[in-house]
Structure 1
Amino acid sequence: MSSVQKPSSATKVSGRDEEIIERRTLRDYYIILRERLWIALPLALVISIGMAYYQSRATPLYRSAATLQIEKPEKVVTTVDVVDTGINSDIELNTYLQVIASAKMRNRVQESLTPQERQVLQRPYIKDLAPGATPPTGVDLGVMSVQSVRSTFLINIAVSHRDPDAAAILANRYIEQFIESLLENVSGGHDYAVKYLRDRATQLQEEARIAEQRLQDYMRAQNLVSLDNSTNIAQANLSSVNQALQGARLDRLAIAEQERLVERYQAEKRNLLEITAIAAYGSVPDLSKQLETLNRDHSLLAERYLERHPKVINVVNAIHVAQEQLDTAIRLSIADLKTSLERAVAREKTLEKEYAAQEKEQLRLRDLSIEYRSLENQAQVAKSNYSQILDRLSQATTSKYLEKIPVRPLDPALPAGKPYTPDLGRIARTAVGVGVLVFFGVAIGLSFIDDRIKSAWDIEHFIGANLLGIIPDLSSLKDSEKYKLVLDNKNTSGVEPFLGVYSSVKIHSKLDFPKSILVTSTIPGEGKTLISSNLAGSFARHGKSVLLIDCDLRRPMMHRHFELANEAGLITWYEKGASLDGDLTINPSLGITSIGENLSLLSSGGRSKSPTQLLESPIFGQLLEKLKKHYDLIVVDSPPLGAVTDSLLIAERVDEVIYVCRFNRAFRKHIRLYIKALRSGKNEILGVVLNGLSPRRIEYYSNYRYYRSYKKYYGTQD
């Protein structure tokens, strides 16, 4: 290790940037926004569109406004019987405004509403009712606001409601009730009061006529002369049918009982003539008597004559004929009984249907009575209101001492053509504003949360180290090519960034040759081996004798990249006694191999799970010092600091350190921590190489435009 001590890189950077304010520029914020575009933009769109959708789904409200004009009194009222209602100060004007906005005025407006107007106010809520739900009983008076128009004698009354007609009705009604309240406070009436009462009387008369006409139309549509008469008739018909139905049921039961009796007699083979209904049916009584007479005659003749006597034979034949006629008559009576039962059942069913129809009519009239009573009540209320306003009109008198009421309706409220809320324009503006705020807030906020290395600002200002250069993403190249880019000089656009790092190392280094440089990183995969190989090739290309040492003893890779065996090297040399005698460049245990002009490679010589014994040994430092006598520059490729502590042990033996960071991989706080640890070991930190950026990102994330300028100057040729 060189005995020359140099000021640390942190001191150098601090001294160099004393005049620079470590503050992000607009370009840095542009880079932040572009990097997080596809995170912040969708989130901003989702929030702004969601908020706009939620606000646009709000219940539409309509606003109607009416205007009152206040007339300034032209003279002082001196009559004690007169109430001066003029506006003489701002206090009185504010009093009027408070009166209009008072709960008492709200109650007056609610009480003054007609049934038709109440239906208009309930209309938007009835539309939203579920089928079968009970309609609301109260009314929504909306939201009323009253204010005086500045520098004028005008009062503006605005009402917001879900129904445009309802908003206009309420705004006008507030004006009417306010004027009416002023009229009530004046002792007596005046010309305007009489005019107002006449207009109101005409309006109420028309409302009464409309209500009565609606009732008459309803009665004609439902075929009602009078609901009470129709109900009484239906009740009488229902009672009559009920009585007939009961009689029919009794008749049917009696006939059914006779039929069951006949069936029982037939089953028991008893004499059916014992049943009164059969014995009294048609010719059955006469035939029965005739049969009894013939039987008596047969008994008398049988005592006198033999069975073959003509008289006996005649009587027997007569008995036989009478018996057949009697049996036929009995069968007819039984059939007639069944027919009577069927007629009784049919009549009972007919009466039941008629009873159900009368009962249905009764229920229909009962249902009609609700709407009929409502229409009738509306007509009666309209007539009552008309009568009351006529009474008030007849009582109103004009006094010569009265001053005019200083309030006049100016512009009546009209139904709004469209809702004022939701205001799609305002919602769109708000959504755009919120989206922009979310976009910038998320993007910039994530920049404070995301601590990974991304830009020159992160390296020079946050970490406090020099940016030696930016290496583009070389993943498109084969591994056999990209580790020998500078040596082969086949891809000029890929070689130039490494030559830029070479120039920066020469500029920032204060040591003369020979010297040793350690190349390390935070985590695996950041490209330190790539940087080591091509940096060594850059110095070799410029005539320096360079030795490249693979000190990643746990996971050596350098020999693979240069297609060499790993049989000899540091571990082999150490295990065979670590001899420093003779020419080390030809020591077979070390196996130093030339891999290019002015460039040699010292491999690891195998793998070791615990290489600290070798790295902590003084012999390792002596080896580096002796190799400096044969080479101008020793470039040591080491393990990542975030994985093992090997690099800190190696750093004690070398002169300078180059730190490799891969774009968007390692965290800034870790890098600053490890660089601080290296500086505490009195190491000269030459700077940081930022690796793995695409050509476009090089332009975005760096103020170093050499890559772009190089392409413009040399073109895209290889």
Structure 2
Amino acid sequence: MSSPDFSPHSASVKHGASLHGNEPHVSERRTLRDYYIMLRERLWIALPVAVIVALGFGYVKSTETKMYASTATMQFERPERVVLNEQVVDTSIRHDVDLNTYLQILTSGKLRQMVAQSLTAEEVRILQRPYLGELAPGENPPPVGQLLGSMSPQSIRNSFLIHISVTNRDPQGAALLANRYVEQFMRYLFENAGGKNEDAVNFLRSRADELRKDSETAEGRLQDYRRKHNLVSLDNSINIISDRLRGYNTSLTDARNARIAIENRLAQIERMQQAGGNLLDIDYISAYGNVAALKTQLTDLQNQQSILSERYLERHPKMINVANSIDVLTAQIKTDIAQAIAALRAQHETLKQTEASYVREYKEAEKEQLRLGELSVEFKSLENQAAVAKNNYLQILDRLAQATTSKNLENIPVKPLDQALPAGAPYTPNLRNIIKTSLGLGLLVFVGVAVGLSFVDDRVKSAWDIEGFIGAHLLGIIPELGDVPDTEKHSLVNSNKASPGSEAFLSVYSAVKIQSKLDFPKSILVTSTIPGEGKTMISCNLAASFARHGKRVLIIDCDMRRPMLHRHFQLPNEAGLLAWFEAGAKIPEDPFTDASLGLTKAEENLFLLRSGGRSKSPTEFLENPIFGQFIEAMKQHFDLIVVDSPPMGAVTDSLLISERTDEVIYVCRFNRAYRKHIRLYIKQLRESKNELLGVVLNGLSPRRIEYYSNYRYYRSYKKYYGSQS
């Protein structure tokens, strides 16, 4: 049968570098199919990450503070009339400069301040409602300046309309502020419009000036009286003096009680001293400073002295030391007692002085209260005069404002069009936008994680990794045999069952024959990087392929640390290489009659040599020249010797075995071993002057086989033979 084409379609070599050099300079051309495979392989890694990121983003956005937006609309009148009076200000919009000026006024700090000042107490409470649930105990709500939210004016293109949009945490507050901006903007225009020369306006302004002067004069007399008598306000001053009297009375009482308590304590100490009692019985003295600790130490020393007196006389050194310590502590206690009494007397003097001070201040406060009572009659009179003058002035100002407003109404170029209404739902968080953004972010993370991991992951995944990066021939690709029982995987070639697996091994057989430069008899080492890559399965089926084509084949289990071949052929592992070595290691003339070797015929032309046991350190046998002599001797009886060895990434046994064999086949399992490790081990095998036939890639899915290795016959083969069966 013809060998399939193993040339990779996704690899290229730069500058003509060889695929089989030690350091190939290669670049990989990736297609959309490559990226599709990356996404499919890392689906269960990238998908959870993408879901977590998308849900986390959505959760954070959905828990943001709710904001409501309301929009009010103003309309400017078209400039259709001509203003001839120079004293009248023409406020109509005639070009973009006028419109931009009004937009800047809307966003100015002055208009924002006017809006803040126009809010009533009830309106402020409406704006404060969203913040009340977040305040800590005792914390005040935000001031008015922080409650105005954000306002953005927008002129409608090719029209005389302006939208005023306000965002706020309260829907009613957003509508309130949007309408208030319109009102205060119109007020600003009213106050700055022209036409101020009418008789009524001039009379009212003149009268307002007179009343303003009268109000200022009355207020000045009141302020002079306050400064003369050092008054902020009579009622406030009286209240302050009353509060001060109550405070002094409370402080005086506390000081007097504290003084009496100390006097009682001093009297107790004097009585105790006169009676000759122990001052340490007084709580104040026993708790002062280090008295309590010294008292405890004195008690311990006295107990120690009592114990020592039972064993020693008074002049004994230990008795003297204890007595001296007792004297020192007694003196220290007396000193601390004296200090405690002195401190108590000092507190008594301090409290006497404090009490006297409070008495003096209390008397002065009483005098001040009497003085304020005498001033109240004249102060009330001046205060009433100032209030009347101010009220007259405010009334005339109101009349002036009404007259000016009536006169300027026809000069204002703007009028409200649509009032702002409370929003029914917040504009943020917007659930629909959050879902869209979360889905987009999740998709981006999914693709980014899958593709990123693919570029970071260094494990073998394709034919390009073998021929492009590692620089070795690809002998063939073995498909994933998950539907084949484990008991049948090692005898697929001899099972005479038509399957893609058996055809793949026959393809490897053909590639080995093409790549091999040696004639029979010869020996081939089969190894891998790590355990579990299918090395033993490939050894068995490759040996069976040669035996099926008429070659006399011996398969040797040289994985002496973990032998497996005897299990697959359902044989005990009592005879074999280790048993033969322990029995003297003599090269037999007829290996079939040597009981220690235990050569077994597995199939037609296929013989098995087991490991003959286990060994934790088989290097003693593998480095022995007799091992190489044995391999050469077996070539007299067999055309091909296939040696199944341990993985190179686990132990160094394979390098020792490779020195005794002629050719090497390296086995890689898809997505298992790292490319850099495989290239390193293959370099070591080449340095040991072995002929590396190539690499067998094991465990690829049918789709990957079809794409990477040009095994496009795989599905058609399965369909064709399956329909015949």
Say whether 1:34 aligns with 2:40.
Answer: yes
Partner of residue 103, structure 2: 97
* C-alpha displacement of 1:145: 0.9
| 2:448 counterpart of 1:415 | no
CA offsets, 1:600-638, max 9 Å, x none? Answer: 223334444433344334444444344334433221111
In structure 2, the CA distance between the partners of 1:477 and 1:137, relative to structure 1 (3 Å rule), is: closer
Q: 1:136 deviation in Å?
A: 6.4
Q: Tell me, in whole angstroms, the C-alpha distance in 2 between the residues paired with 1:454 and 1:385.
A: 90
Query: Which position in structure 2 is the counterpart of 1:652?
Result: 659
Contact 2:476 2:507 in 1 (8 A): yes
Distance 1:60 1:386, change over 3 A: farther
Q: Is the 8 A contact 1:168 1:414 kept in 2?
A: yes
**1:659 to partner: Cα distance:** 1.5
The worse-fitting range, judged by mean Cα deviation, of 133-142 and 180-189 is 133-142
For the Cα contact (< 8 Å) 2:87–2:195, is it kept in 1? no
- Do residues 670 (structure 1) and 677 (structure 2) align? yes
Letter in 1 for 2:494: L
Q: Does residue 506 of the first structure (1) align with residue 513 of the second (2)?
A: yes
- Report sequence identity in percent: 64
SS at match of 2:28: coil
Aligned-pair CA distance for 1:651 = 1.8
Corresponding residue of 2:436: 429
Which letter maps to 1:170?
L
Question: Match of 2:489?
Answer: 482
In the alignment, which residue of structure 2 is the partner of 1:378?
Answer: none
Shift of 1:441: 1.9
Alignment correspondent of 1:142:
149
Cα separation, partners in 2 of 1:166 and 1:492, compared to 1, 3 Å = closer
Within-5 A mapping of 1:544-555: 544-555=551-562
Asked if the contact 1:189/1:397 (under 8 Å) is kept, the reply is no
Q: Which moved more, 1:483-492 or 1:60-69?
A: 483-492
Q: Distance in 2 between matches of 1:547 and 1:151?
A: 94
The 5 Å alignment of 1:271-420 reads 391-396=400-405, 398=407, 404-420=411-427
Per the alignment, do residues 675 and 68 of structure 1 end up closer, same or farther by CA in structure 2, a change over 3 Å counting? same
Q: CA deviation at 1:589?
A: 5.7
Q: Distance in 1 between matches of 2:407 and 2:140?
A: 49
- Structure 2 match to 1:272: none
Aligned position for 1:22? 28
Name the CA distance, whole Å, in 2 between partners of 1:390 and 1:499. Answer: 112
Equivalent position to 2:695, from 688, 691, 697 = 688
Q: Per the alignment, in what secondary structure is the counterpart of residue 411 of structure 2?
A: coil
Tell me the equivalent position of 1:640. Answer: 647
Structure of greater Rg: 1
* 594-603 or 635-644, which deviates more: 594-603
Q: How many residues of Structure 1 are paired with residues of Structure 2 in the alignment? A: 515
Which residue of 41, 49, 54 maps to 1:48?
Answer: 54
Determine whether 1:628 maps to 2:635.
Answer: yes
CA gap 1:163/1:133 in 2 versus in 1, 3 angstroms: same
Give the structure 2 partner of residue 183 of structure 1.
190
* 1:116-195 map, 5 Å: 116-125=122-131, 138=144, 140-188=147-195
State the alpha-carbon separation in 2 of the partners of residues 637 and 433 from structure 1: 52
Whether the 8 Å contact between 2:528 and 2:668 is mirrored in structure 1 is yes
Looking at structure 2, the residues matched to 386 and 545 of structure 1 have their Cα atoms a distance apart, in angstroms, of 127
Unaligned 5+ runs, structure 1: 1-9, 195-383
> Corresponding residue for 1:356?
none
1:13 aligns with 2:28: no
Contact kept, 8 Å, 2:20 with 2:467, in 1: the verdict is no
User: 1: distance between equivalents of 2:704 and 2:628?
Assistant: 40
3-state SS, counterpart of residue 595 of structure 1: strand
Among 592, 607, 628, which residue is 1:600 paired with? Answer: 607
Q: Is the 8 A contact 1:517 1:654 kept in 2?
A: yes
Which structure 2 residues correspond to residues 197-212 of structure 1 after superposition, within 5 A?
Answer: none
Counterpart amino acid of residue 190 in structure 2: L
The offset of 1:190, in angstroms, is 11
Q: Distance in 1 between matches of 2:395 and 2:637?
A: 124
User: Match for 1:691: what amino acid?
Assistant: N
Q: CA deviation at 1:507?
A: 3.7
Which of 59, 63, 66 is the matching residue for 1:57? Answer: 63
> Quick one: distance in 2 between partners of 1:524 and 1:553?
14
Matched, 1:557 2:561: no
Deviations 1:118-170 (A, max 9, x none): 34434444577899997766472221012333454443321112333322222
8 Å Cα contact 1:513/1:633 also seen in 2:
yes
Q: Distance in 2 between matches of 1:514 and 1:117?
A: 103
Measure the CA separation in 2 of the matches of 1:128 and 1:479: 66
- Amino acid paired to 2:696: V
* Equivalent residue number for residue 497 of structure 1: 504
The answer for the alignment partner of 2:205 in structure 1 is none
Q: Which residue does the alignment assign to 1:68?
A: 74
| Alignment partners' CA distance in 1, 2:485 and 2:70 | 76
The unaligned stretches of length 5 or more in structure 2 are: 1-12, 202-392
Q: SS of the counterpart of 1:715?
A: helix
Shift of 1:420: 1.7
RMSD: 4.0
CA distance in structure 2 between the aligned counterparts of 1:167 and 1:47, rounded to whole angstroms: 33
Relative to 1, partners in 2 of residues 1:588 and 1:386: Cα closer, same or farther, differing over 3 Å? farther
Cα deviation, residue 518, structure 1? 1.1
Deviation at 1:573, TM superposition (A): 4.7
Distance, in Å, in 2 between the alignment partners of 1:537 and 1:566 is 21
Give the letter aligned to residue 598 of structure 1: N
Distance 1:169 1:128, change over 3 A: same
TM-score (ref. length: structure 2): 0.62
> How far apart, CA to CA, are the structure 2 residues paired with 1:605 and 1:649?
19
Q: Secondary structure at the match of 2:444?
A: helix
Q: CA 1:116 to 1:477, structure 2 compared with 1: closer, same or farther past 3 Å?
A: closer
| Mapped pair 1:82 → 2:91 | no
Q: Supply the distance in 2 between the matched residues of 1:512 and 1:176 (Cα, whole angstroms).
A: 104
Normalising by structure 1, report the TM-score.
Answer: 0.62
For residue 65 of structure 1, what is the amino acid of its counterpart?
Answer: T
Distance 2:159 2:171 in 1: 28
Name the amino acid aligned to 1:713.
Answer: Y
Q: Distance in 2 between matches of 1:190 and 1:121?
A: 42
Give 1:572 deviation, angstroms.
4.7
How far has the Cα of 1:72 moved from its partner? 6.2
- Answer yes or no: is the 8 Å Cα contact 2:460–2:674 preserved in 1: yes
